[in-house]
Amino acid sequence: MQNSIGFKDQKFFIGMDVHKKSWVITIRSMGIQIARFTQPPSVEALVKYLEKNYPGGKYYSVYEAGFCGTDTHEQLCKAGINNIIVHAADIPTTDKQRKNKTDLHDSSTLADKLEKNEVHGIHVLTRDQQELRGLFRLRQQRVIDVTRANNRLKGYLMYLSIELPAELSKTEYLSKKALDWLSNLELSIEAGTLSLKTYSEELKYQRAQLSRITKLLREHINLHHARSYLCLLTIPGIGSITAMGLLAEIADFNRFKDPDEYCSYLGLMPWEDSSGEVKRTKGIQPRHNKFLRPLLIEASWTAIKNDRGLFAYYSKHAKRDSKKAIVKVTRKVALTARGVVIKQQPYDPDYYKRKEGEQKQNNEGLKEKQECI
């Protein structure tokens, strides 16, 4: 009967619950579930099944973003399957589905929502951009490792009441001279000396790794995003690390439909919990890019010290709440970064003044027209 009817141009929607050792597949078409099975984690096996049972159809698939990255997505697309990757939190589910969660139910939900067009895919970076982003995130993790190694060594020194010379203990982070001084220090027994040298060598190693990764990251940013990188550096408060982070994490700023979508990605938009006449605003969104938002907020504190316009903007809103005021400045700095990258032009400190002047002129023109009418 399948051979007599045929499936040319018929749409098939495939929900995939992807795991390391197996995939749970649910297939829907024309509003009904037509297949559900478990298979090995292989795109070739899925394509072979579809071509055997539903030849000539149009195939659409979806799976949740997770450990497997985007390689499966690339293979599915090359095989002629229109695939999307969705964020797990963006899949609409009922309370009953959340309380009765299995792989079969997950794949069925994905297939059903895909057929109803109720799920939308995330932006998939190119392989090169994913590797560049991975290098930046590795750097951020290495910064944490350096801080931990520094604190472990300082804690050990404090526990043994070892005090550094006054000229070597002016900063929280132990300098190279301080580490050299500690390397020549002998404690009462060999065990203590070995512990001290191990802590010192760990800190030196982590710092060397951080320096190497930062240098390599800067080289690749200059290779792939040289003009955008130079434009970002002209913005007050944005230094080399923040600029590299924006380009490594986002790459293409045009992928956002509007400024609100861009700010929502960064976690700089407010969120509400309102019902009826009761309106509750809970500050900035908890869902955000955890690598970029802290960098941008830190950059904003520097920006208000170096730019009069941003300082005036911060002072205007800080009267009510200084924390909310710095978030507003951060949003402005982030939007400025988006603008200079898209236009490929350096920062213009008089841009907002001219924009406000143009807006005032337009408002005055509208008033004159209304008065004439």
Q: Each residue's pLDDT tens digit in the chain (373 positions)? A: 345 467 888 999 999 999 999 999 999 999 999 999 999 999 999 999 999 999 999 999 999 998 888 999 999 999 999 999 999 999 998 888 888 889 999 999 999 999 999 999 999 999 999 999 999 999 999 999 999 999 999 999 999 999 999 888 888 899 999 999 999 999 999 999 999 999 999 999 999 999 999 999 999 999 999 999 999 999 999 999 999 999 999 999 999 999 999 999 999 988 877 777 777 777 888 889 999 999 999 999 999 999 988 999 999 999 888 888 999 999 999 999 999 999 999 998 876 666 666 666 666 666 666 666 5
Exposed, middle or buried by CB within 10 Å (0-12, 13-18, 19+), for 51? middle
Long-range contacts of 203-210 (CB under 8 A, 24+ apart): 203/146, 203/149, 203/150, 203/153, 203/174, 203/179, 204/179, 206/142, 206/145, 206/146, 206/149, 207/146, 209/142, 209/145, 210/139, 210/142, 210/143, 210/145, 210/146
Helix (H, G, I), strand (E, B) or coil at 16: strand
Structural domain containing residue 209: 127-224
Q: Report yes or no on 216 lying in a domain.
A: yes
Verify that 235 and 340 share a domain, yes or no. yes
Q: Are residues 269 and 328 in the same domain?
A: yes
- Same domain, yes or no: 220 and 247: no
**Residue finishing a domain among 174, 206, 224:** 224
Q: Are residues 238 and 149 in the same domain?
A: no
Count helices and strands in the chain by DSSP H and E runs = 15, 7
Q: Which two tokens stand for residue 124?
A: 């998939």
| 25 neighbors 14 (Cβ within 8 angstroms) | yes
Residues 165 and 283 in one domain: no
Count of residues making up the chain: 373
Residue 129's alpha-carbon distances to 11, 136, 201, 228, 371, in angstroms, are 32, 11, 33, 15, 55
Statement to judge: residues 253 and 348 lie in one domain: yes
Q: Are 139 and 165 members of one domain? A: yes
What is the tally of structural domains in the chain? 3
Using CA atoms, how far apart are residues 124 and 75, in angstroms rounded to an integer? 13
pLDDT of residue 237: 94
72 close to 63: Cβ distance less than 8 angstroms: yes
- Look at residue 217 and tell me if it is in a domain: yes
Global confidence as pTM: 0.88
Domain co-membership, 170 together with 215: yes
Residue where a domain stops, chosen among 206, 224, 242: 224
User: Residue 334 — left, alpha, or beta (φ > 0 → left; ψ -120 to 50 → alpha)?
Assistant: alpha
Residue where one domain finishes, among candidates 191, 224, 257: 224
Domain co-membership, 196 together with 252 = no
How distant is the alpha carbon of residue 135 from its chain centre? 13
For residues 134 and 106, membership in a common domain is answered with: no
What local confidence, expressed as pLDDT, does residue 366 receive?
A: 66
pLDDT attached to residue 360: 66
CATH number at 14 reads: 3.30.420.40
pLDDT of 1 reads 36
Whether 251 and 213 map to the same domain: the answer is no
